[in-house]
Amino acid sequence: MWTTQMSEDLMDRKRGDKAFQTKDFNVAIEFYTSVTKASPAVYARRCFCYLMNNIADAALRDAMHAEVLLPQWSTALFLQAAALFSLGMENDANEMLKDGSMLENQIKEN
């Protein structure tokens, strides 16, 4: 059943996507944050916006949310690596890159 909230979420996501495409990352963050039922893609896009605004701790949190929602999505791991690098946690970031690469290879093999 389509509800008013679902309609509002869809409109906010579209507005966030438009802001994202025009590289207006602050506005994109606002719209993505207002989506109540965020998908892994919304978390990933907001993560990227946070990274572009040098807010690495929030970026890491969103990348982790994306992974929880879609564990077999290597993009979430690569975004976590980017956030960890931004936080100065190079060893953890390298491990995350390895995990993401292994996941990519597993997906390609299947």
Residue 6 has pLDDT above 90, yes or no: no
Domain layout of the chain by residue ranges: 4-109
Beta strands in 1-110 (DSSP E): none
Helix (H, G, I), strand (E, B) or coil at 1: coil
User: Does the 4-109 domain belong in CATH 1.25.40.10?
Assistant: yes
Residue 36 has pLDDT above 90, yes or no: no
Instruction: Work out the pLDDT band at 38, boundaries 50, 70, 90.
Output: confident
